[in-house]
Structure formats: structure tokens, C-alpha cells
Amino acid sequence: MEKIPFIIGNWKMYKTIPEAQEYIEKFSKLIHGVKVRVGLSIPFTALSAAKGSVKNGEIQIGAQDVSRHDEGAYTGEICSLQLKDAGASFVLIGHSERRQYHHESHSVLKEKLHQALKRGIQPVVCIGETLEEREKGLTEVVLKSQIDEVLRGLPKSEAPQLALAYEPIWAIGAGLAATVEIAQSTHAFCRNCLKALFDDHVARSISILYGGSVKAENIAALMKEKDIDGALVGRASLDANEFAKIIHLSGNKKL
Ligand code: PGA
């Protein structure tokens, strides 16, 4: 079976509308013809303009968050219908920066997941442990609870629409990624958690992306691993040349 790598650039709170348009114009040419599913997770303000700049369908536009509410008097929130409207085809759910700075609980993330699925927007559920949790030997307990609390109860038929992103918090923005061995063994653990919740077939169909200091120097080695299906790239996705290099190096995977 061949699984197409899924590589997402997470721009976080960077780039204006003209900067997003300029990036996409340049980046599209650089990645033309690659056999990789490429996503850009960009600020709300630039979603619609970015979608308009995508000419050949080789880039998918996604958001970084979604409201847990359907619609209503929720000042400052953006709902899944509005994301769909702006051209988002996927959305990050529970990025560690949202969990940390906005205190998003598992129950809130569960609601966000349902909002995304309801509108046919692919949820990319982010999980990851802190350095302290890893050092205390709690990594598996923490990840299992993050997976179970958010995904439990999801019908098996809907689960293949998800992607999971494992991002050890200690590797995000750190410049130093998890070793390939740590990333692979943690991904295998996550896959087993998915298997326990759903079944083997569903677990295999869900792409598990690695995130945390991914760059051109380490992407190829990460992507060779059996359970690493893609990457969520922060800082290195801000530069079109650098991100295009990562896309080319992520290559094709045989499973
Ligand atoms: P980084 O960020 O690649 O800059 O470590 C990854 C992320 O936060 O998604």
C-alpha cells in the first residue's frame, strides 16, 4: 500500500495577506508536480486570499483553530461554517500553544473536533507531552489520555477523516527535534491507541504527523519510519524555499 505523505506548514501568527499571496505564488512553482499532500495552516485573516492564490490545487489551505460553537453570540470566535466558507479544508485541533495559552480542555477539543467533522473539514488533532512528563516516564499515559479523551465515542466510520499530529512540546521551536527512534516508537504507540479505540484498519488509515523542529536536515530520516506519515512544520515553513525543500525531501512512502 502506498500512503501519500501529508506535510503541513503551520504559520502560527505570522504573515499578512500580501505576504501570504506572495508566498503561495512562489511556493506553488517550487513544489509543482510533487507526490505529497501539502497543507498550509494559516491565520484566519489570510485564509480566503490564500485560497484564491492557489491555482493548481496542489496546496490545501487550513486553519489553526475553530470555535466549539456552531454560531451565535461568541465575540471573537470563528465557526467551522465560516472556515469552510473561507476555503479551509483542514484545521488544527488542540495545538499545544492553544492548550497552554488558551487552556483548552479535552472536552472543548472534543466539541471542536465535532464542529470540524460536521462541515467536512479534516481535523488534525495535536497531542504531545512536556519535557517534565517525558522525564517522569509519563509520556505514554499522557498521550493515551489525550487521544482517548478527545476521540472516544467517535464513530468508526468517521475516524478515517482525522489526522493526528504528535508534537513533543519540548521539541517545538527548540531547534532540536525528537530523535528518529523516539518519534517512531511514540508514533507506533499512538497508532496502537487508535487501534484500541477503533480497529487496525482504521488506525492504519489515519495519518500520524510528527511535529517539533522539523527541517530540511531531518525530514528524510523521519519520513523513512514506518509510522511517520507526514509532518507539521512551524518555523521552517515560513520561508517558501525552505518549506519546498522539506516537501521534496519528504518523498514517497511504501508501507
Ligand atoms: P516548529 O513548530 O517546527 O517551529 O518546532 C511546530 C509546531 O508548533 O507546529
121-170 pLDDT per residue, tens: 999 999 999 999 999 999 999 999 999 999 999 999 999 999 999 999 99
Amino acid at 54: V
Cβ neighbours, 10 Å, residue 26: 12
Q: Is the pLDDT of residue 255 over 60?
A: no
CA–CA separation, 167 and 182 (whole Å)? 12
For the chain, what percent of residues have pLDDT higher than 90?
A: 93
Query: Quick check: 238 and 215 in contact, CB under 8 A?
Result: no
Query: Quick check: 46 and 83 in contact, CB under 8 A?
Result: no
pLDDT (tens digit per residue) in 204-248 = 999 999 999 999 999 999 999 999 999 999 999 999 999 999 999
Query: Quick check: 23 and 244 in contact, CB under 8 A?
Result: no
Q: Nearest residue CA, atom 9 of ligand 1?
A: 234
- Which candidate in 71, 95, 97, 133 is catalytic? 95
State residue 74's pLDDT score.
98
Which of 16, 14, 106 has its CA nearest to residue 64? Answer: 14
Parallel, antiparallel, or unpaired for β 122-127 and 163-166? Answer: parallel
DSSP string, 19-65: HHHHHHHHHHHHTTT-SSEEEEE--HHHHHHHHHH--SS-EEEEES-
Work out the average pLDDT over 48-76. 96
pLDDT band at 57 (very low <50, low <70, confident <90, very high): confident
Work out the average pLDDT over 42-48. 98
State residue 252's pLDDT score.
55
Q: Is the pLDDT of residue 34 over 50?
A: yes
pLDDT (tens digit per residue) in 93-110 = 999 999 999 999 999 999
CA–CA separation, 205 and 213 (whole Å)? 25
Work out the average pLDDT over 25-30. 96
Which protein residues touch ligand 1 with a CB less than 6 Å away? 10, 167, 172-173, 211-214, 232-236
Ligand 1 centroid to Cα of residue 234, in Å, is: 4
Amino acid at 62: G
Q: Which helix (H) or strand (E) holds 103?
A: none
Known catalytic residue at 95: yes
Cβ neighbours, 10 Å, residue 149: 13
Which of 101, 124, 213, 218 for mutating ligand 1's site (highest number of atoms within 8 Å of CB)? 213
State residue 48's pLDDT score.
98
Which of 80, 114, 93, 81 has its CA nearest to residue 41? Answer: 93
Q: Is the pLDDT of residue 254 over 70?
A: no
Nearest ligand 1 atom to the CA of 175 is 5
pTM comes to 0.96
**CA 126 to centroid of chain Cα atoms:** 7
pLDDT band at 251 (very low <50, low <70, confident <90, very high): confident
